[in-house]
Structure 1
């Protein structure tokens, strides 16, 4: 994939993840859940790989926070989920493994790491399992959306020419 196509695709994913945050979210205590972020993580992981997926998640988190649409918990949730989605896909070459990676990365690992993150950076004292239910629901629903979209476009020339193959 050439640099222009890569950057354009990344920008498109960032736009989708940022704009969708205005319309599709639900509260989970002190956090907000954004299933589209998880769908974008899965799609970017499969199409672009773990590195670009993490950068996309970072940019979406930054923009959502700058626009007042998210919380600081976007960073552990989005980045860890994107990394695991990309890594598991790279390891197995199975699209469903990107969804599993997103759920493990965000729903379990990031939700547990968000507890000290919330305590230190947000001044919120929460228990060890405070974020697990919301993060799991958000990452599962987002992973399903992402896998569904990928299943609909997998035959397109774009996916055939640009899917992550290293």
Structure 2
């Protein structure tokens, strides 16, 4: 049990570091910064670590990026909603296509709607309720494609079956 916990924390740390280090690769769209790598990380965390690791990792990555000046407050709702929803979808369906759609819906719709009060009340921006749906969708679709390609490559190596079977063996 301890070995698996250490493995999950190590993988989470590597994925958080990937999200932070790749934060210069963002696309500014209005007051939002589109960050496709975070969505790829969300998918990997959903598949290999679970929804609550993914949610926590999205928060930590957003916080570090905000402190470094490479992210904005809008990263919190988008990344966290997407990570939680795609993680829950994968946990309960075990279907990758639904997981990808969960990330897309969680970020583009739920995260964008949750970003509205942050943008208007906290950041003082003028925005319509659905103002962030298109920018978040554009950011997310790129990350979903990256995540899908990476998961497909991992599946071909057989590592995915090993990790997923190891999770079920330890009831995690």
TM bucket normalised to smaller:
over 0.9
Structure 2 equivalent of residue 37 of structure 1: 38
Deviations 1:49-104 (A, max 9, x none): 10111111111101100100000011100100000110111121011221100100
After TM superposition, give the deviation of residue 31 of structure 1 in Å. 0.9
The answer to whether 1:107 aligns with 2:108 is yes
Structure 1 runs not aligned, ≥5 long: none
Q: Name which of 10, 17, 20 aligns with 1:18.
A: 20
User: Could you list the runs of 4 or more consecutive aligned residues of structure 1 that deviate by over 6 angstroms after TM superposition?
Assistant: none
Aligned pairs (5 A) from 1:42-121: 42-121=43-122
Quick check: which has more Rg, 1 or 2?
Answer: 2
Structure 2 residue matching 1:32: 3-state secondary structure: strand
In structure 2, C-alpha distance between the alignment counterparts of 1:33 and 1:9, rounded to whole Å: 24
After TM superposition, give the deviation of residue 47 of structure 1 in Å. 0.9
Structure 2 runs not aligned, ≥5 long: none
Q: Is the 8 A contact 1:89 1:95 kept in 2?
A: yes
Q: Is the 8 A contact 1:28 1:131 kept in 2?
A: no
Q: Is the 8 A contact 1:48 1:162 kept in 2?
A: no
Structure 1 equivalent of residue 126 of structure 2: 125
After TM superposition, give the deviation of residue 131 of structure 1 in Å. 0.7
TM-score calculated relative to the size of structure 2: 0.91
Structure 1 equivalent of residue 8 of structure 2: 6
TM-score calculated relative to the size of structure 1: 0.94
